[in-house]
Amino acid sequence: MAATAPADRPLPVLTPPARRSAGFLSKMAAPCGRSRRWLWAAVVPAAVLCLAVRAAEEASTTEFDVRPGGEVHSFSRSLGDYTCTFTYSAQGGTNEQWQMNIGVSEDNLLFSCSVWRPQGKSYLFFTQFKAEVKGAKIEYAMAYSQAAVGAQSDIPLKQEEFEITETTVSHREGKFRFELSKLVIVAKTPHDEL
């Protein structure tokens, strides 16, 4: 049933004309000054990751258990010429179900690997972690103490807590604060130029 208004009262306008103007939209879409640099620093890596995942010709998500007990465990998946391996040691609690997603872009230029706890925050105490890619070189990587779920956002580790090399993302001894819930890697694949 359509909403009607009394003859003496018009239907409400949801957006005032000022908010529909090009000036208003450009101000909302393009923050100025120093915040623009921060915006680019935050948006570009996220855009690269989204493009890598969305353009994935092939992708695979696999569940696995992260087991406490202090022993070193590894979980690995391959897709074509590329491999992602997550190695860790954790204490406390019981097994947690995690996921690993790997994908290769349609143009075969990017390999992505994400490891995370779908419930968001892990309650395990990680004594070490390392994610390694084979067949590609890391272009972008980030580690998080909390993964986005529901109304919660990703919370990145401080840059001093982990290190990135050409092929690995790992904890930094003496700086890592033992919290890990997500790792994201986008790696550039070798390709022949014509």
Residue 29 has pLDDT above 50, yes or no: no
Indicate the pTM of the whole model. Answer: 0.72
Average per-residue pLDDT for the chain: 79
Query: 17: left (phi > 0), else alpha (psi -120 to 50), else beta?
Result: alpha
Q: Is 55 a residue whose pLDDT tops 60?
A: no
Q: What is the pLDDT of residue 191?
A: 75
Measured distance CA(122)–CA(131) in Å, rounded = 17
* Cα distances (angstroms) measured from residue 75 to each of 12, 64, 126: 57, 8, 15
For 153-187, the pLDDT digits (tens) are: 999 999 999 999 999 999 999 999 999 999 999 99
**Please, what sign has the CA dihedral across residues 171, 176, 178, 182?**
negative
Q: What are phi and psi of 54, to 5 degrees?
A: -70, -35
Q: Element (H or E) spanning 36, and its range?
A: helix 34-54
Share of the chain above pLDDT 70, in %: 69
